[in-house]
Amino acid sequence: MTGKRYVARDTHVASRLMGGEMMIMSTRDSTLFTLNGVASVIWEAADGKTPLDEIVTEQICKEYDVAPEQAMMDAETLVEQLAGHGIMIVSDQQIAPRENSEVHPK
């Protein structure tokens, strides 16, 4: 993967940080997901404007003791999985903010 990748939370989700883990519900089918602390950082940073590699280097690698290459691989896997569940959008271009998505979920 050479180009920048951008990630954004899908609008059809509800989410809340609870005890360090992100609880996410898809409002399309009421499926519930949980993310661990590291994945929650990516979820919260997924604003559609910040490239994934920047999220990894600026937020994951500074906060957690993990090699940048490994962190990037894990992040790529995570966002693909979340996109597969329909709760995250992944694009090679910036993703414009949509309805419901302006306010950062706590």
Give the binding site for other proteins (CB under 8 A).
Answer: 11-19, 21, 23, 25, 27-28, 30-34, 99-103, 105-106
**Minimum separation from the CB atom of position 68 to other proteins (A):** 30
**Minimum separation from the CB atom of position 25 to other proteins (A):** 5
Q: 19: alpha, beta or left, given left = phi > 0 and alpha = psi -120 to 50?
A: left
Residue 50 burial class via C-beta count within 10 angstroms: exposed 0-12, middle 13-18, buried 19 and up:
middle
Which of residues 12 and 91 has its CB atom nearest to other proteins in the complex? Answer: 12
Which of residues 51 and 86 has its CB atom nearest to other proteins in the complex? Answer: 86
Tell me if 88 sits within 8 A of 10, measured CB to CB.
yes
Residue 44, classed as helix, strand or coil, is helix
**Minimum separation from the CB atom of position 19 to other proteins (A):** 5
Strand order, beta sheet including 13-18:
13-18, 21-26, 32-35
Which of residues 17 and 61 has its CB atom nearest to other proteins in the complex? Answer: 17
Which of residues 62 and 106 has its CB atom nearest to other proteins in the complex? Answer: 106
